[in-house]
Each structure stands twice: as structure tokens, then as C-alpha cells.
Amino acid sequence: MPSAEIAGVTVDVNEEGYLTDPGQWTRAIGEAIAAELGIGPMTDEHWKVIDFLRKDTAEQGQVPSIRRIKKTGDIPTKELYALFPDGPLKKSTKIAGLPKPASCI
């Protein structure tokens, strides 16, 4: 299993750079990944999405869809695309330290 140093911490990642152990995630790691993806600075609106993703994934056992984020997380799809352009679910889950969604190519 590959590893990477993010925010001064060595974490387990897959071949695409997604954390394989969400328990290794910290906000500092999230901020570092966001910066690497060209997202930032992270605002309260960004963290609302990240916090929802982590909580919902822990409760449901899978990464939520964009539709679920809109419906359950009360985060409009337009806002999600504005916060995480060019692949909002792919980028936000990576920042959140979660697996790449199956719906993302």
C-alpha cells in the first residue's frame, strides 16, 4: 500500500492519492489536500460540506451522492460546484479523507 506525506504526517493512500484510512485524516491534512487541488482558502462553507461528508459516510457506510448532499445536507448543488469546481464530489471526498465515490470516473 502506498503512503504519502501530507501536512507533515505519513498517511496511507491509494494510487490516486485518496486516503485509505479515514481515521488518519485531520483538518490540517484536508487543508493541505485542498491546496494541492487548487481549492482554498477553506471557508466555513467548504468545511460544512466536508463535515457533512465525513458524518454521513460514517453513518451510512458509503460516500453520499450529490443528490443526497443537496437533500440531506441542505447544500445546494450550485453551491457545491462553486466551492469545488470541476468535480465537486471527487474533490470534496478527497479533501475529506474519504474513498473516491464509485460514481466518479
| Catalytic residue status for 104 | yes
- Please give the Cα distance from 41 to 43 (Å, whole number): 6
Give the total residue count for the chain: 105
Q: Kindly give the interhelix angle for 88-95 and 27-36, rounded to the nearest 10 degrees.
A: 140
- Please give the Cα distance from 90 to 103 (Å, whole number): 9
Exactly one of 7, 42, 66, 104 is catalytic; name it: 104
Cα dihedral sign, 36-29-80-58: positive
Q: Is the peptide bond before 22 cis (omega within 30 degrees of 0)?
A: no
**Catalytic residue positions?**
104
